[in-house]
Structure 1
Amino acid sequence: MAALNVLVYSGPGVGLNAHAYLLRTLRQFLSHRYAIIPVGPETLGREPWESKAAMLVVPGGRDLPYAAALGGAINARIKAWVHGGGRYLGFCAGGYYGSARCEFEPGTPLQVVGERELGFFGGTCVGCAYPGYSYTSEDGARAVEVAVERAAFGVAAAAWRDDPERVRVYYNGGGFFLVDELGEADAADVAVLARFPPDVTDPRDRTRLVSGAAAVVSCRAGRGRAVLSGLHPEYAWDFLVPASYTQPHNRGLVSLLRSHDAYRRRLLGAMLAHMGLDVDPEALADCPDQHHSQRAPAATPVYLAPARAAGVADIARTLYALNSAAANQGGAGCAGVGNQVLQDTADDMYVVGAAPGAGQRRVSAEYQDAVLRPEEPPAPPAGQQAYASATVGEARAARRQSLLVLCTHDTLPDADEAPRFSMRAAIEHMRAARAHTAGSWLMYSDTTWSTQTFLEKNLRLQALLPDGTVYVATRQLAGRGRGRNAWISPAGCLQFTMLVRHPELKQAPVVMMQYLAALAVVEAVRALPGYEELPLRLKWPNDIYALLPSAADSDAAADSDPAADRDTPGFAKIGGILVGSSYKSGEFTLLFGCGINVANRLPTTSINSIIREYNSAYGTDLPTLSVERALALITAKFEELYRRFLVHGFKPLLSLYYRSWLHSDQVVTLADRSHEKARVIGLGATDGQLQVRSLSGSGAVYSLQPDGNSFDMLHGMISRKT
């Protein structure tokens, strides 16, 4: 199965800064292919996370709260998963916790000594490697020059070019691993990846120097692997505040880390590659001209233009309403750049027009820089409180600043402003597809946090936008899936949110709209001449799957593993639908979030890959799709189906839906009914519930809610979400 989730432990004991820095770094290195998902003890203890997880990462913090929150059954699950082929990465406290024994500052008021259940490193992790650690300050921090054991990385050693063998890395409170004290069997499973310099002292006797102390170890655990680190290679120099480092041993810490930052990044990249993860090459590049360790992703301007809107009056009315709403705020402006601000419920939106005429159309770089700031590291908590005693989520919600650029047909962004998506081409395709409402206006941003969140949280903007407005982004920094899932958005993936205002109608229940949207994605492609037999399918309730080529000619393809990766016959997920809704005065405001792999080979496969493979197998010459054309086709098909749905409901569309869905006569296991076996018999046309008939003697029919149950396709398991 394609395991694409990188889980970051976010429960009791986690250091707030350690957690925030880790999330940012992992997204830089891995978000091109993996979803970076914070998880607490509840998720690790109750949900079936193992089949989708590529790695579990435990950040710095306090080891004892980890043991209290995860001890017993949860640790047993983690350990079994790693031994079965999973990966564990522990930094600082996560390194102590992954060892068989922790000895932290023995004989001092900070002492934490005891056995640990995971035991990926079969010996003891002893710390601190350097004296002076404090929970309430940065006094114990150092820029440690570690010796990298390149040969131990295997093929991952190719990450280095002409880098030095000694690399400066942030250190604060970590331990070293007593490899020499392991028995012969345990030692055979351990490789030292990096060693501390010879100034490390033994915390059990600070007069004794420890030569060649292991700073990072790689441990084979059954079929899996654990990498444990007493260092913080996930810390970049520009995360840190120089004024925090006032001790003789760390006053130059930030400048030292800055000078070795490219080497530090390649060390971390090699650690991840050594564990078998696919690392984004951009995260490893030299950045000599940048003011940051790596250019921090930032939101880009949001361009809004009429696409299918027919009337000049309608266009003028919308532009006037947006300008008026912004002008009426009378704000003080941003860094002296103006006061056309729409102060919404989540964002302060600086509204500008893209004026026509040579040299006037673009929004100046100075204005953009003043409004759109890069992601900033979190400020240290008040009183230097560095650790959390409860679950830590993402960085605390704060108001963001957005730049909304109002465009007309002659002021659309060009290839320099929007190099990865052509609004002009998208609008041309939308007009050719001859829909009216769906895609009436087009919003686009090269990079945003989440198209769904932006429209969902900014209620004033949502109310001003015309029905059918579509917001597209090339890259989402925090794309969302259903439940706690994230959505990965590599280049070539089409992700958008469409605003639909739906009247309360008995014959067209709102619950069926999610099925309508998913069906529109599949039918938009399969309705094209020659594309009818492309193996695109629907998974209940609203995921899009594609049959991989190795299974396409098999009579048993429908019974094979639908969640398998490219090496296993079966299906791979290529898209999904997320629906948010609100209700007022007899009308639903629906936000359809759609992510579909159009042209990206990773992380699973894509529509264009399937088209090319179909051409190869059947000797056809079907053109691939651009994301702009795919957007036009999907929105037009949605409108076509929606008009039928408004009049006749979903029942006449069921045969079309069944033609593409994966579940006809599928036998499933009902986890919440004592693992009773049942057979899928259909979908409720008015309530959207999955109908299954028990295979026991009673033959009872059960109805399963789409928003209350999770369908694990790999194991044919349906269970209630927790």
Structure 2
Amino acid sequence: MEDRLWLDNGLVPEKIVSVLLRESTLKAFAGRSVLIRGAQAETRSLELQEPPEDRSLFQSPCRASEEGTGAAIGSASGQDRGCPPADAAAADAGLDGRRRMGAGEQHAEGCHLHLSSCHECLELESSTILSVKFASMENIPDLPDDYEGGRGESGGRSVPGQGRRFNQKPPNVLVYTGGCQERFKHVHALLAECINTDSYVLYPLRPQQVLSEPWLDSTLLLVLAEEEPLTAQHHERFLAYLERGGKLLGLCSSFCAAGLSLAPGPDRRNGVCQLVFTRADCTEVELSALASGHVFVRGDSPAEMWGELRGGSGGMAVVRMTHGDNGGEAVLCQVHLEAAPDSHDVTSPQDFDELKASNALRYEVLSEILSCLGLSCERSHVPPPSPIYVLSSSEECRRCFLEWLQTQVGQGGVLRASRISLKVLPGVESPGALPGGTLALVTQPPQRLPPQFSLETYSLHLRTRTLGRCVLFAETTPSTMDLLEGLMLQLPQEVGLIAIAARQTEGRGRAGNAWLSPLGCAMFTVHMRVPVSSRLGQSIPFLQHLAALAVVEAVRTLPGYEEIDLTVKWPNDIYYGSLMKLGGVLVNSTLMGATFHLLIGCGFNVSNSNPTICINDLVERQNRQRGSALEPLDTSLLIARSVSLLEDLIASFQDGGPQAVLPLYYKRWVHSGTQVRLQSEDGPQVEVVGLDDNGFLQVRSAELGVVSVHPDGNSFDMLRNLVVTKQR
């Protein structure tokens, strides 16, 4: 709290204490406006910041006087985090470091929070100011002194939950890895995915800097990610950082304080263990993680246990402790939350699968810990939509589309659709400000495309007669489905239009679900026509199965990539084995006369490993297991191959019906012989046998025989092996 208050003469308060203003005194001075000016006082009355991380500042003044003003701020009582307080007094003591009182709350009538530097408090209560010192303006060398991202809003009020401080110190997060640059890169990448990188900057803290450079007053969070024992000097330096009110995250570090110590744990080092973590709301989450081989021993420490190992003798694996009188706080872990499932310490396929299944929970736990230490883990600002470019390797195809486009543009060069409007621009100049819901459609290709898409690679691997020949590409767009919805009904038949995006901000999944669309994900929507009288026109639900199969085949028919464990899951998902989803398909259909107009939307993870898994994770895994040297795959290549194979599969279906494609589909799907229950956990148990002629799932039971299950009414819960009603 102290370092969040800034006086215009360069002073900061070193200690803030709670003061009881008696009711009689308050009445006597009601309405009085105290102004501190000139020689009467050297400080101004400051607007209070949002509540600090130190709960003891908000304790009853009577209790504070009993315990002494020098009590450690926010000190734990020794009770574990998962155990709620037994009585009101315990609740008031703030056993859980993450449950704070809101600004302006009072414990009792007449008990107000005041500052020790407040003139009214000095005049009325003779409160003691321990000291006021000149704030050190030194910053760690090589760190930017002019960083403004951590400043609060006007008036210096800190933003709740964002860990911002209103001072001239940059909000640095320093990572100590004992000088290992490779480990720093891994931890840096992980933290950058968890915290708001628009608000914080990440730097390495090298061993030679620990003792020699003034980083203590310039650091918002210190991350210790080094397993080797710390030197006594380094340990003392890190303790000094906590004593100054610093926040510390230990990731399998030997650092301990406040009576904590380390002991050998029940799990071998770098073996997979089960961590039970207690959230702030006292619910528990269990996940798999790599063990450090050690656990914490509490001794006489008042540390709170936030996580313990499951099974065997267990042990404390995640603890929170406080240190010093200035709000120093640390969360220490003895499981490798920083270790990804594909790290070099993971050697067995079983360990990889188990860790990957818990990967999203690993991010959840780490994000909650970082939030508790005062950092903002909110997603960064969503970038605005970028211009949409008309691209094609065939100038004839591009010219055909542009000629049609000229006939559709209305007043002001705007083409209006149901969800969006397109402002058609002839050149690559900046479109300027556009009304909400209007996107710029640029008819000339840019001099240089973003690195997320290569027209050359796409054109090289596209082998279609119609599909995907004309490209609308946007670096950032709300939804590729929205781009084509307003165009598809009037498009010339020879224009095979596809919309491709590097990032979607409003991606849509089946049944209205949101679809996360980060960089590294292949995202596209392709338009096609199907006559109602054709074989596929009589079995339109099959189209989603063909699209999912095309993505799987796009990878598994590449030389050397045949054993990549990519599968299809009914009705519209792309999976890694039977473990986790990495892609999906959405088909929207509109019937016009005797023709279906279909938009096939598809998204699958190519190089975005987190928070689940991607295709290149599987490629790297095969390289490590088999000693191969397969290259990572590219989104442009896989989109082109997927569209090409989709056109081939559709042609096969139109020629030979379902039987022309089902053998390949069954080869790639995950459901053969799967036992499930229909409708609910108490429903009849049945066996999945295949797809019917309409593309619906078929199941068999002794009582019901063979029946079809419609994909718009049920979906698989892969964890419980159930067929459940889709929640709408």
Secondary structure at the residue paired with 2:475?
A: strand
Counterpart mapping for 1:110-509 below 5 A: 144-149=49-54, 182=88, 184=90, 190-192=96-98, 200=104, 202=106, 205=109, 207-209=110-112, 255-256=154-155, 260=158, 264=162, 279-285=194-200, 296-307=382-393, 309=394, 312=396, 314-326=397-409, 329-331=410-412, 340-354=413-427, 363-365=428-430, 367=431, 369-371=432-434, 400-407=437-444, 412-415=445-448, 418-430=450-462, 434-456=463-485, 458-459=486-487, 463=491, 467-508=495-536, 509=539
Q: CA deviation at 1:541?
A: 0.7
**1:440–1:539 distance in 2 versus 1, CA, 3 Å:** same
- What amino acid is aligned across from residue 545 of structure 2 in structure 1? Y
- What amino acid is aligned across from residue 298 of structure 1 in structure 2? P
What TM-score do the two structures reach when normalised by structure 2? 0.52
**1:677–1:180 distance in 2 versus 1, CA, 3 Å:** closer
**1:196–1:688 distance in 2 versus 1, CA, 3 Å:** closer
Counterpart selection for 2:549 from 499, 515, 519: 519
CA distance, structure 2, for counterparts of residue 526 and residue 666 of structure 1: 23
Q: CA deviation at 1:603?
A: 2.0
CA distance, structure 1, for counterparts of residue 195 and residue 531 of structure 2: 45
- What amino acid is aligned across from residue 353 of structure 1 in structure 2? P
CA distance, structure 2, for counterparts of residue 502 and residue 693 of structure 1: 32
Secondary structure at the residue paired with 1:480?
A: coil
1:440 touches 1:466 (CA, 8 Å); kept in 2? no
Q: CA deviation at 1:667?
A: 0.4
1:350 touches 1:403 (CA, 8 Å); kept in 2? yes
Q: CA deviation at 1:583?
A: 0.5
1:692 aligns with 2:591: no
Secondary structure at the residue paired with 1:455?
A: helix
- What amino acid is aligned across from residue 575 of structure 1 in structure 2? G
1:481 touches 1:487 (CA, 8 Å); kept in 2? yes
Q: CA deviation at 1:266?
A: 5.4
Secondary structure at the residue paired with 1:191?
A: coil
CA distance, structure 2, for counterparts of residue 201 and residue 521 of structure 1: 56
CA distance, structure 2, for counterparts of residue 581 and residue 462 of structure 1: 15
Q: What residue in structure 2 maps to residue 386 of structure 1? A: none
1:678 aligns with 2:681: no
- What amino acid is aligned across from residue 441 of structure 1 in structure 2? C
Q: CA deviation at 1:478?
A: 1.2
**1:573–1:196 distance in 2 versus 1, CA, 3 Å:** closer
CA distance, structure 2, for counterparts of residue 590 and residue 461 of structure 1: 10
- What amino acid is aligned across from residue 694 of structure 2 in structure 1? D
**1:321–1:468 distance in 2 versus 1, CA, 3 Å:** closer
Counterpart selection for 2:664 from 632, 656, 661: 656
- What amino acid is aligned across from residue 685 of structure 2 in structure 1? K
Q: Give the unaligned 5+ runs of structure 1.
A: 1-141, 153-165, 167-177, 213-252, 271-275, 288-292, 332-339, 355-362, 374-398, 548-561, 563-570
Which one has the largest radius of gyration?
A: 2
CA distance, structure 2, for counterparts of residue 304 and residue 647 of structure 1: 33
CA distance, structure 1, for counterparts of residue 716 and residue 380 of structure 2: 39
CA distance, structure 1, for counterparts of residue 679 and residue 574 of structure 2: 24
**1:296–1:692 distance in 2 versus 1, CA, 3 Å:** closer
Q: Give the unaligned 5+ runs of structure 2.
A: 1-46, 58-72, 74-83, 116-151, 166-170, 174-190, 203-378
**1:658–1:601 distance in 2 versus 1, CA, 3 Å:** same
Secondary structure at the residue paired with 2:446?
A: coil
Q: What residue in structure 1 maps to residue 573 of structure 2? A: 543
Secondary structure at the residue paired with 1:351?
A: strand
Q: What residue in structure 2 maps to residue 580 of structure 1? A: 588
Report sequence identity in percent: 33
What TM-score do the two structures reach when normalised by structure 1? 0.53
CA distance, structure 2, for counterparts of residue 600 and residue 626 of structure 1: 11
- What amino acid is aligned across from residue 264 of structure 1 in structure 2? Q
**1:461–1:642 distance in 2 versus 1, CA, 3 Å:** closer
**1:345–1:486 distance in 2 versus 1, CA, 3 Å:** closer
**1:296–1:623 distance in 2 versus 1, CA, 3 Å:** closer
Q: What residue in structure 2 maps to residue 667 of structure 1? A: 675
1:467 touches 1:499 (CA, 8 Å); kept in 2? no
- What amino acid is aligned across from residue 408 of structure 2 in structure 1? A
Q: CA deviation at 1:714?
A: 0.7
**1:295–1:687 distance in 2 versus 1, CA, 3 Å:** closer
CA distance, structure 2, for counterparts of residue 672 and residue 595 of structure 1: 29
Counterpart mapping for 1:638-657 below 5 A: 638-657=646-665
**1:266–1:596 distance in 2 versus 1, CA, 3 Å:** farther
**1:676–1:467 distance in 2 versus 1, CA, 3 Å:** farther
Q: What residue in structure 2 maps to residue 230 of structure 1? A: none
1:692 touches 1:702 (CA, 8 Å); kept in 2? yes
**1:439–1:151 distance in 2 versus 1, CA, 3 Å:** farther
2:390 touches 2:398 (CA, 8 Å); kept in 1? no
Instruction: Give CA-to-partner distance per residue, 1:300-358, whole Å, 9 cap, x none.
Output: 00111224x5x73x5433211212322xx223xxxxxxxx222333323111224xxxx
CA distance, structure 2, for counterparts of residue 699 and residue 343 of structure 1: 51
1:201 touches 1:208 (CA, 8 Å); kept in 2? no
Q: CA deviation at 1:650?
A: 2.0
Secondary structure at the residue paired with 1:691?
A: strand
CA distance, structure 1, for counterparts of residue 630 and residue 706 of structure 2: 43
CA distance, structure 2, for counterparts of residue 632 and residue 484 of structure 1: 27
Secondary structure at the residue paired with 1:611?
A: helix
Q: What residue in structure 2 maps to residue 701 of structure 1? A: 706
Instruction: Give CA-to-partner distance per residue, 1:650-672, whole Å, 9 cap, x none.
Output: 22211100001000000001134
Q: CA deviation at 1:280?
A: 4.3
Q: CA deviation at 1:597?
A: 0.7
Secondary structure at the residue paired with 2:524?
A: strand
Q: What residue in structure 1 maps to residue 631 of structure 2? A: 623
Secondary structure at the residue paired with 1:299?
A: coil
- What amino acid is aligned across from residue 256 of structure 1 in structure 2? G
- Higher relative contact order (CA closer than 8 Å, sequence separation 6+): 1
1:423 touches 1:444 (CA, 8 Å); kept in 2? no
Secondary structure at the residue paired with 2:622?
A: helix
- What amino acid is aligned across from residue 687 of structure 1 in structure 2? N
2:50 touches 2:159 (CA, 8 Å); kept in 1? no
**1:261–1:614 distance in 2 versus 1, CA, 3 Å:** same
1:303 touches 1:405 (CA, 8 Å); kept in 2? yes
2:550 touches 2:649 (CA, 8 Å); kept in 1? yes
